[in-house]
Amino acid sequence: MPRQEPVKQDPAAPHQRQELGSAVVRFAGDSGDGIQFTGSQFTQSTAMSGNDLATFPDFPAEIRAPAGTTFGVSAFQINFGAETIRTSGDECDMVVIMNPAALKAELPELKPGGLIIVDTGTFSERNLHKAHYDDNPLENDSLAPYRVIKLDMTAMTLEAVKDFGLGKKGALRCKNMWALGFVYWMYDRSRQPTIDWLNEKFAKLPDVAAANIAALNAGHAFGETAEMPHDLHGFSIGHADIAPGEYRTVTGAEALTWGLVAGAKLVGLKMTFCSYPITPATSILHYLSNLMEYDIVTFQAEDEIAAICSAIGASYAGSLGVTSSSGPGIALKGEAMGLAISAELPLIILNSQRAGPSTGLPTKTEQSDLYQAVFGRNGDSPLAVLAARSPSDCFNVAIEAIRIAVTYMTPVILLTDGYIGNAAEPWLIPDMDTYERTPVSFRTDPEGFKPYLRDERTLARPWALPGTPGLEHRIGGLEKDSETGHISYDPENHQKMTNLRMAKINGIAESLPLQTTEEGADKGRMAVVGWGSTYGSINRAVSALRDEGMDVSHIHLRHIWPLPKNLGDLLAGFEQILVPEMNTGQLKTLLRDQYLVDAQGLNKVSGQPFKIAEIESAIRDRLEN
């Protein structure tokens, strides 16, 4: 048994590390190379070293794509720095390439002059052929615009772990840790969090843990000792100016999960989470299934319709019903949403949007379900729609969605997307004792009880649970009398009920904070209006142009329906309104309809988030000409 090498402090660097304000690094390799693990470990260590960061995991739809193919390339991008980071970065400063297919797929992401760290050990005839390379790009001048560091990581990993008896296949699985160790050296990160993680993950396989740690250390040691080309001596990135407190990294799916748990607790409800697996929404089901101790029941239904229907049944019986899906599944839930609107029951519907139509691009991000959320049901069927802007924002948006659902007895759709769900960022962990607790009060008094007699302020009907003596009543999807809830075919009653349902949802706006700008003045030459995951790109672009003196502001909507009540007035203060969206112009249409403003779209549906530069250039085009 070889001795596990203790982690050494870096010896006094013979050369000075190069100072950087921020860096964008992308790890890329085969689906089986453990790229996502590598990326999340680098994220953890980077967060702990005091940088701000944002990540973008970009993995293929195939579970086990054929090895060595370009469509099997899995990538993980991280933007980190001593400054405020809002996006995962437009262009990469460095790519870590584990095979020829990854080089082929990822080279367009690298900026000219950028660094390529490449495992030469995988550049065999066969792998080059699979990646459709006629010539070995490492041996011709095709990579001349970049700085290339060629390392035979395969051989060096095999050497580092040879004493652990893993066999060649097992040994090669440590290669990602070798690469990680090397990149840790390059950016002066601590290996300790990863060593702890490996020991925990492979607690039952100590040889595997030790081999991975040996590979990690070997990669790091190589960086320390080897003479690197291009006069490279590693980089150093200062601490970001981050508010003091306890932090963790969080993905959107995690923050959403915890927000639901917290939101239900804050209103004193148990939660029944009913879902059918669908990419990219499934991880929420996985996370919540492990949280039953928080008064949560999860139910994997037989289909999307059963998922929402069982959630409605749960809300009817006094739990907080939650269902979760992505666009195609949300389409299937439409009829049942109408039932929840008609029965006026609280319900949370999560939509982790993905590219459509139909099955579309399941693992690629888009924000093209805004119409579906606001309008996508039969009849006049209003409900509330919210959108989260970033991974950590999911937490508070989930709490807000629950507040609205139980206060107004209404279904609420919460929009996130594949990007927000998977991306990670550091999060200042909130103190839940500072959140207001407003327990729901169920109706228990039979005196004067009528199921559809409303609260004067909120227009919400009482929540009267089966099991309560004296409140027995019948409800359903047929039109109901505006007080008794009995079936009513009376034309005037239908007019009244339609008006009431609309007034109730519109009235939510009374409880919303007034819309403010994220950046810039509340009047001027241009407002860039966004919603959802475009937040980071828009914010960076607007900040940068404001630094140049441009008169541009950023408005970002959390409440898509109803819209904040001052939004029309706010928009009226701008000469131009630009709406960047990862769809063909859905919020733009809504704004034009609601406020008769000349909103212009900036639209992208490539399955990739906006680059900051794309938004900057759109703003420049409009303001400089």
DSSP for 168-206, written as a single string: HHHHHTTHHHHHHHHHHHHHT--SHHHHHHHHHHTTT-H
The reply to whether 476 sits near other proteins by the rule CB under 8 A is yes
> Given the complex with other proteins, which of 193 and 524 has the nearer CB atom?
193
Radius of gyration over every alpha carbon of the chain, rounded to an integer in angstroms: 27
Question: How far is residue 271's CA from residue 398's CA, in Å, rounded to a whole number?
Answer: 13
Q: Of 134-142, 155-163, 277-285, 431-439, which segment contacts other proteins by CB under 8 A?
A: 431-439
Query: Please, which residue, 205 or 432, has the CB nearer to other proteins?
Result: 432
What is the Cα–Cα distance from 491 to 488, expressed in whole angstroms? 9
For residue 182, CA distances in Å to 12, 117, 152 come to: 17, 10, 12
Binding mask 275-304 for other proteins (x = CB under 8 A): ----------------xxxxx-x-x-xxx-
Based on the shown chain and the rule CB under 8 A, indicate whether residue 305 belongs to the binding site for other proteins: yes
Residue 318, C-beta contacts closer than 8 angstroms, at least 6 positions apart = 269, 270, 442, 463, 465, 466, 467
For residue 249, state whether it binds other proteins (rule: CB under 8 A). yes
Q: Is the peptide bond before 244 cis (omega within 30 degrees of 0)?
A: no
Please select the residue that binds other proteins; options are 477, 495, 499, 584, rule is CB under 8 A.
Answer: 477
Does 474 contact other proteins by CB under 8 A?
yes
CA distances from 522 to 199, 201, 525, 556, 574 (A): 53, 51, 10, 12, 8
Q: Which of 117, 336, 374, 529 binds other proteins (CB under 8 A)?
A: 336
3-state secondary structure at position 29:
strand
Question: Which CB, 111 or 473, lies closer to other proteins?
Answer: 473
449: contact with other proteins by CB under 8 A? no
Q: Of 152-160, 331-339, 364-372, 601-609, which segment contacts other proteins by CB under 8 A?
A: 331-339
b or e along 154-191 (b: 16 or more beta carbons within 10 Å of the residue's beta carbon)?
Answer: bebbbebbeebebeeeebbbbbbbbbbbbbbbbbebeb
| Among 6, 112, 167, 469, contact with other proteins (rule: CB under 8 A) | 469
Amino acid code (one letter) for 29: G
Nearer to other proteins, 108 or 467 (CB): 467
Give whichever of 102 and 343 is closer to other proteins, judged by the CB atom. Answer: 343
Q: Beta-carbon neighbour count of residue 53 at 10 Å?
A: 23
Under the binding rule (CB under 8 A), the answer on residue 493 touching other proteins is no
As a whole number of angstroms, the distance between CA 107 and CA 146 comes to: 10
- List the 52-58 sheet strands across, edge first: 52-58, 73-81, 22-30, 92-97, 110-119, 147-151
Q: The sheet that has 599-603: what strands, in order across it?
A: 552-557, 524-531, 574-581, 599-603
Least separation, in Å, of the C-beta of 207 and other proteins? 24
Under rule CB under 8 A, residue 243 binds other proteins = yes
b/e burial code for range 82-114 (CB count within 10 A of at least 16 → b) = beebbbbbbebbbbbbbbbbbbbbbbebbeeeb
Q: Is 7 in the site for other proteins (CB under 8 A)?
A: no
Cβ at position 296, least distance to other proteins in Å = 9
Instruction: Build a one-symbol-per-residue string for 135-174: x at contacts with other proteins by CB under 8 A, - elsewhere.
Output: ----------------------------------------
Report CA 82 to chain centroid distance, whole Å: 23
Is there binding between residue 432 and other proteins (CB under 8 A)?
A: yes
Q: How far is the CB of 197 from other proteins (least distance, A)?
A: 8
Mask for 28-57, x = binds other proteins (CB under 8 A)? ----------------x--xx-x-------
Contact with other proteins (CB under 8 A): which of 312, 538, 570, 578?
312
- CB-nearer residue toward other proteins: 331 or 465: 465
Among 153, 311, 401, 599, binds other proteins (CB under 8 A): 311
Using the rule CB under 8 A, is 242 a contact of other proteins? yes
**Which run of H or of E encompasses 586?**
helix 586-595
Query: Which residue, 37 or 610, has its beta carbon nearer to other proteins?
Result: 37
- Of 43 and 515, the one with the shorter C-beta distance to other proteins is 43
Q: Which of 24, 117, 131, 309 binds other proteins (CB under 8 A)?
A: 309
Contact between residue 357 and residue 330 where contact means Cβ atoms under 8 Å apart: no
Nearest residue (CB) to other proteins, 209 versus 307:
307
Binding of other proteins at residue 318 (CB under 8 A)?
A: yes
* Interacting residues with other proteins between 176 and 195 (CB under 8 A): 193
Residue selected from 465, 502, 544, 623 as contacting other proteins according to rule CB under 8 A: 465
Q: Considering the rule CB under 8 A, would residue 392 count as an interface residue with other proteins?
A: no
CA 602, CA 577: separation in Å to the nearest integer?
Answer: 10
Considering only residues 20, 471, 509, 613, which one is a binding residue for other proteins as defined by CB under 8 A?
471
Question: For other proteins, which residue of 487, 514, 572, 596 counts as binding (CB under 8 A)?
Answer: 487
| Number of amino acids touching other proteins (CB under 8 A) | 71
The smaller minimum CB distance to other proteins, of residues 332 and 521, is found at 332
Paired sense of beta strands 320-325 and 296-300, if any: unpaired
Tell me the closest approach of the beta carbon of residue 421 to other proteins, in angstroms.
Answer: 18
Beta strand pairing status for 384-387 and 559-561? Answer: antiparallel
Residue 612's contacts (CB-CB under 8 Å, 6 or more residues apart) are 87, 90, 537, 540, 541, 544
**Residues 544/614, Cβ–Cβ less than 8 Å:** no
Q: Are strands 52-58 and 73-81 parallel, antiparallel or unpaired?
A: antiparallel
Q: Which of residues 583-622 bind other proteins (CB under 8 A)?
A: none
Q: Which is nearer to other proteins, 289 or 603 (CB)?
A: 289
